[in-house]
Structure 1
Amino acid sequence: MELQNRSIIITGASSGIGAAAALLFAAEGANLVLGARRSAELETLAGQINQGRGQGRGSAVFLAGDVRDEAYAGALVDLAIKEFGGLDGAFNNAGIVGEMQPVTEMALDNWNDVISVNLTSAFLAAKAQLPVMKQRGRGSIVFTSSFVGFSNGGMPGMGAYAASKAGLIGFVQSLASNHAAEGIRINALLPGGTITPAAGAGNPEVLDFIANLHPIKRMAKAQEIAQAALFLLSDRSSFMTGSPMLVDGGMSVRLM
């Protein structure tokens, strides 16, 4: 029970890595506030978690909304306080890839969407979450970045995504330095290709192509990335802060 009785926010929780993390964290004893845009999927996931609660397993509540909305970031924190008495951790996982195309052909709206969902939302989340954790004198925050923002070897068509994920790593390191003495650890999780609806999960040819880019010759399961997030949120990573932790099947090694 790595997260026994801890209150944790998960964004991007309606599918993929976020949903896998929710199921894992609840099994490890966490009480969860689930956030995403799709209310029906969140309701289903929360129901699944709550059906299994008891004997140390955690429970879940949910609130649908847009992570680009400052009021929504605050509402998730308020819900954690109302339902569970405070906030111990957050897995700020929501993100989008956007349209993959050269910058010279990219619409400004696409650039703005990717930056706002992947990077500005991190600012809003931190702004809402940190004061509550500071009051408790402890906390752990994990942001989902990507190997693409660390060492992507110039992967074409991903200018906006790479910029947002690289910016997120810098943001995490600045936050970590600012808040380490307050007992709050802040890290970035950098997955490689992961089998999710956003990664073309229904297209075997796409999955095979992405899998073969990895030295390990496969893509990650969402549950494997969730395990890494669990590590960063648990006391097993108690001396880690400001780290861009790669869980990428060797992609960064291949591309360096």
Structure 2
Amino acid sequence: MLSGKIALVTGGGSGIGRAVCRLLARDGARVVATDMDGGAAQETINMLKGKAHCVLLKHRDDHLSLKMDVTDKTSVESAISAAIDKYKAPPSLITNAAGIIRDNFMLQMDEKSFMEVLDVNLKGTYLVTQVATMALAEHDASSGSIVNISSISGKLGTIGQSNYSASKAGVIGFTKSTAMELASMGVRVNCVLPGFTQTAMVGGVPDKVVKLILKMTPLKRMAQPEEIAEVVAFLLSDKSSFMTGASVEVTGGLGM
């Protein structure tokens, strides 16, 4: 389905990002896993190389890990350049999955915690999208697909996550605007709004909060990262060729 295409995933060292890397490799893509933690990104690539995830085994060892700080344009540009050096072409499939939380009630939240979350979750999505699409234009690429990971919190809000919810709401608006701007380049831009998902990010959530959220979720469970990644893979592929600017909720019914 994605045979031979070059896919760059931010936040590829864990959680949804790692699951996306695994599924894209399964579908034949050459995967560039990037993460602030370069060792974690390499662990992801080792998983891809250690198992026959790819449909076409000739791409089994043709993956790359890179340390990248999505809040630093120079770091983003260096990572994209490294991918181009390896594959002689820019990545045409981009997943912006890098994200952090700094939870606190708004009245107790310090400015640094608020801005750190916006820098990674929203500014990072902007920088990677801008640099990646500029590279596509410079190489006269005729198509591309970008999927941004937002959150149902960006639609509903979440107590104790005013910074996170604001950043993810911003990702939805950014997706819609860039979808309109990049359509003439043949680049589609969509976003996924996961619900409560079993990742390290939710590891510190108090049990009573977990129980409350599960009670509000019609399917009565958390998502697995692979369940989110399957939707991402669909949106990156030609199977979703007439979708752009869409916000797809994958929440188990939370927020209906």
What amino acid is the match of 2:127? L
- The 5 A counterparts of 1:128-167 are 128-134=131-137, 135-150=140-155, 152=156, 154-167=157-170
TM-score, normalised by the number of residues in structure 2: 0.91
* Structure 1 residue aligned with 2:71: 68
8 Å contact 1:195–1:201 — kept in the other structure? Answer: no
TM-aligned CA deviation for residue 79 of structure 1: 2.0
Q: CA separation in 2, counterparts of 1:189 and 1:111?
A: 22
TM-aligned CA deviation for residue 201 of structure 1: 7.8
* Structure 1 residue aligned with 2:245: 242
| Percent identical | 33
Give 2:203's match in structure 1, choosing from 197, 200, 215: 200
Q: CA separation in 2, counterparts of 1:92 and 1:104?
A: 30
Residue 138 and residue 209 in structure 1: after superposition, are their counterparts in 2 closer, same or farther (change >3 A)? same
Which deviations, in whole Å up to 9, do the C-alpha atoms of 1:106-125 show, x marking residues without a partner?
10001110110110111111
8 Å contact 2:27–2:55 — kept in the other structure? Answer: no
TM-aligned CA deviation for residue 182 of structure 1: 1.3
Alignment partner of 2:31: what SS?
strand
Residue 118 and residue 202 in structure 1: after superposition, are their counterparts in 2 closer, same or farther (change >3 A)? closer
What amino acid is the match of 1:100? N
- The 5 A counterparts of 1:106-255 are 106-134=109-137, 135-150=140-155, 152=156, 154-200=157-203, 207-253=210-256
TM-score, normalised by the number of residues in structure 1: 0.91
Name which of structure 1's ranges 65-74 and 24-33 shifts more when overlaid on structure 2. 65-74
Show structure 1 runs of 5+ residues with no match: none
Q: CA separation in 1, counterparts of 2:243 and 2:55?
A: 30
TM-aligned CA deviation for residue 208 of structure 1: 4.0
Give 2:104's match in structure 1, choosing from 100, 111, 118: 100
Q: CA separation in 1, counterparts of 2:250 and 2:55?
A: 31
CA RMSD, Structure 1 to Structure 2 (Å): 1.8
Q: CA separation in 2, counterparts of 1:216 and 1:55?
A: 32
Show structure 2 runs of 5+ residues with no match: none
Matched length: 249
TM-aligned CA deviation for residue 32 of structure 1: 0.9
8 Å contact 1:200–1:206 — kept in the other structure? Answer: no
What amino acid is the match of 1:124? L
Name which of structure 1's ranges 232-241 and 131-140 shifts more when overlaid on structure 2. 131-140
8 Å contact 1:133–1:184 — kept in the other structure? Answer: no
8 Å contact 1:9–1:76 — kept in the other structure? Answer: no
* Structure 2 residue aligned with 1:48: 47
> Does residue 91 of structure 1 match 2:91?
no
